[in-house]
Homo-oligomer: A and B are copies of this chain.
Amino acid sequence: MSFANLEYMSTGQRPTMRPWQYKLHSIIFESNTFYGKLFDIALLACILLSVIVVMIDSVPPYHAKYADIFYAIEWVFTILFTAEYILRLFCIRKPMAYALSWMGIIDLCAIIPTYISLLVAGTQYLLVLRALRLLRIFRIFKLWHFLDEGRFLLEALAKSVRKISIFMLFIVIIVVILGSCMYLIEGASNGFNSIPESIYWAIVTITTVGYGDISPVTPLGKLLSCILMLCGYGIIAVPTGIVTSQMMAEWRNKHISDVQCKSCGKWNHEKDAKYCRYCGASLGE
């Protein structure tokens, strides 16, 4: 680590960037140049490959045969990603901002589990967290317009969050009370071993998943399940209605122009408005 970097640690911003840092920055962080593109595609391929290796490693017959090879590949990828992470820190003006950004944290999560697995066995499977790095696909292939759509979705969801959280609270209360009733009605002999397990059953039922590992046996229990099922079938309409109406409101907002009334300074006029709806002044002038 250079002296400049140590100085940076206190000021939060790297004082100067050497030419090779600029060069590296353009390769790693940008994808305009040929080498930049090459790096990005290679990186994406590495991420995909490493996730697939972790998955296959967990399949017993393959693990039995090729455990050593997978272990080696895992370390190769981990060292590669570690090198990439350190390089990223080295060639950016504000390394701390990157390290604390979502992308920086995800990049760190993609390498830590291998090191931890030296101490605690089994954690190497957490390497599937590397799947999160696939979100880079948007940045790498310049799929900004895709992200724009995603932002539209997230905004609509974010604005529905209140309504949906109330809805979820009601679901939780229904599920706690009906789950407990089922525990009283069916009892441990029919698989409803405890209230938490009965609540698990109630969630399995109200969400229409229906594993069938626990299912009602007594007539009264079956009656209550029927109510719970019809309930779950009917109220699925509620989050759907919330999100749909929110999306259409969002869509409508797209039809709001960004013209400001020169007379009263108010915004939010519709695209086809000619006069300010607050003061009546003409908008077109």
Chain A residues with CB under 8 Å of chain B are: 51, 54-56, 58-60, 122, 125-126, 128-129, 131-132, 134-135, 137, 145-146, 149-150, 152-153, 156-157, 162-169, 171-173, 176-177, 180, 183-184, 188, 193-197, 199-200, 203-213, 215, 219, 222-223, 225-226, 229-230, 232-234, 236-249, 251, 260, 264-270, 272-282
Given contacts A204-B229, A207-B232, could you give 6 more A-B pairs where the C-beta distance is less than 8 Å?
A131-B172, A149-B166, A164-B234, A171-B230, A233-B236, A236-B236
Among B200, B241, B266, contact of A240 (Cβ-Cβ < 8 Å)? B241
**Contact between A238 and B173, CB atoms less than 8 A apart:** no
A79 smallest CB distance to B (angstroms): 22
Residue of B nearest to A133 (CB): B173
Copies in the complex: 4
Complex CA gap A196/B278 in Å reads 60
Most B CB contacts (10 A, CB to CB) among A167, A229, A277 go to A277
Among B55, B171, B200, contact of A222 (Cβ-Cβ < 8 Å)? B200
**Contact between A207 and B233, CB atoms less than 8 A apart:** yes
Complex CA gap A169/B249 in Å reads 25
Complex CA gap A236/B219 in Å reads 26
Residues of the B chain whose Cβ atoms lie less than 8 Å from the Cβ of A212: 210-213
Q: With A248-B245, A282-B280 known to touch, is A205 a contact of B209 (CB < 8 Å)?
A: yes
Among B132, B210, B251, contact of A249 (Cβ-Cβ < 8 Å)? B251
